[in-house]
Amino acid sequence: MVEFTSVVGVPLRYDRATGTSYGGKGLAMKFSAAPQLKTALDKACAELWQRLPEGRPSILLTGGILAEKAGEHAKGAAFDFDGFWHGERRFMADDYPQRKAYYCGIQAVLMKHFGVVINWHWVNRRGQQDHKDHWHIDLSAPIGWRPGGKSCVLCAQTILRDVWGQALTIDGSYGAKTAGAFAAIGIDPKEDWMKFLDRTADRAFGAAPVVADPDKPSAWAAEDWARAEELGLLDGTRPHDTVTREELAVVALRLLDKATPPAG
Ligand SMILES: [Zn+2]
């Protein structure tokens, strides 16, 4: 077991103890977890802090890690992700009905680092939705698309409906409708799982939209792009790539040559 009190620079607090309440600021304590859980949690949170439009939170809230219950929690290998605070603003998992896209953005990042993510739509054996107030995440299944895994299908259907606008019933069973929804957004879940999750997080958090055609410049730049090629400054390929230092040197010298009047 490893012990810790924060996750990638953010204080971790327990909000289910006596004297605290769900969605409060929680109780500071020393947490224990299996090393592999902590490693995955660090990676997931590092990415999440970077992607959140508000940046790194001030408090991360958990419903528990090591616990006397069946399954992965008994080994300290599961984490219940309740929510977080940014100063005086907070997001909790049970805000899902009001902030569906944002919820899905967080979920997509968690799914990149954990094979098992159980979300709001999960129904237990007694017919109760007992994960409305947190995501349960663990490593007991490999990361990737599992069409036979109920929690995985539920999460994917949630994203397809709430981020990508596909008409779907979120029931956890993979069939023609879910396959059609993936096809409609140009994703083969088996091949493109990480791409699916990355694009979901981009979209959910409002990052730049994916460029439709990699060989065509954006509309706002088309005129200048054509002119730069005409003048021989650029070769007219790869309009959306970033510039390397050597490319910059070549273009800068071409410009300088054009600006310098011929000697004599
Ligand atoms: Zn759990």
pLDDT in tens, 26-73: 999 999 999 999 999 999 999 999 999 999 999 999 999 998 888 999
Same domain, 161 and 232: no
Same domain, 238 and 178: no
- Reported as a single tens digit per residue, the pLDDT across 108-133 is 999 999 999 999 999 999 999 999 99
Q: Please choose, from the candidates 175, 178, 131, 126, the residue with its C-alpha nearest in 3D space to the C-alpha of residue 151.
A: 131
Distance 16 CA to ligand 1 centre (A): 13
What pTM, to 2 d.p., does this model score?
Answer: 0.78
Alpha helices in the chain (DSSP H): 35-51, 100-113, 150-162, 176-184, 193-204, 222-230, 245-259
pLDDT of residue 212: 56
Same domain, 177 and 59: yes
The share of the chain scoring above pLDDT 70, in percent, equals: 96
105 contacts: CB under 8 Å, gap ≥ 6 = 51, 163, 200, 201, 203, 204, 205
Distance 161 CA to ligand 1 centre (A): 25
Q: Kindly tell me if the per-residue pLDDT of 216 is higher than 70.
A: yes
Averaged pLDDT, 173-192: 97
Q: Please choose, from the candidates 45, 43, 52, the residue with its C-alpha nearest in 3D space to the C-alpha of residue 99.
A: 52
The identity of residue 80, as a single letter, is: D
Domain that holds residue 228: 219-259
**Do 65 and 78 meet the contact criterion of CB atoms below 8 Å apart?**
yes
Same domain, 153 and 255: no
Q: Is residue 212 part of a domain?
A: no
Distance 80 CA to ligand 1 centre (A): 5
Distance CA 207, CA 214 (A): 18
Q: Kindly tell me if the per-residue pLDDT of 210 is higher than 50.
A: no
119/210: higher pLDDT: 119
Same domain, 181 and 230: no
Distance 102 CA to ligand 1 centre (A): 21
Q: Is residue 214 part of a domain?
A: no
Token pair, residue 141, equals 């299944």
Averaged pLDDT, 85-98: 96
Token pair, residue 134, equals 């947190």
Q: Is residue 103 part of a domain?
A: yes
Q: Give me the number of domains the chain comprises.
A: 2
36 contacts: CB under 8 Å, gap ≥ 6 = 77, 139
Distance 62 CA to ligand 1 centre (A): 10
Weakest-pLDDT range from 106-120, 182-196, 214-228: 214-228
Task: Grade residue 259 by pLDDT with cuts at 50, 70 and 90.
Answer: confident
Q: Is residue 245 part of a domain?
A: yes
Q: Is residue 210 part of a domain?
A: no
Q: Is residue 196 part of a domain?
A: yes
Other beta carbons less than 10 A from residue 116's beta carbon: 23
pLDDT of residue 258: 86
Same domain, 35 and 144: yes
Same domain, 236 and 197: no
Residue 119's alpha-carbon distances to 55, 56, 80, 130, 192, in angstroms, are 23, 23, 11, 9, 21
Same domain, 138 and 255: no
Same domain, 130 and 243: no
14 alpha-carbon distance from chain centroid: 23
Q: Is residue 209 part of a domain?
A: no
Same domain, 240 and 178: no
Q: Kindly tell me if the per-residue pLDDT of 209 is higher than 60.
A: no
Q: Is residue 228 part of a domain?
A: yes
Distance 77 CA to ligand 1 centre (A): 10
Weakest-pLDDT range from 84-88, 138-142, 205-209: 205-209
- Residue 61 pairs in a beta bridge with 13, 83
Other beta carbons less than 10 A from residue 219's beta carbon: 7
Kindly report the average pLDDT of the chain as a whole number.
Answer: 93
Distance 32 CA to ligand 1 centre (A): 15
Same domain, 190 and 234: no
234/241: higher pLDDT: 234
Q: Kindly tell me if the per-residue pLDDT of 217 is higher than 60.
A: yes
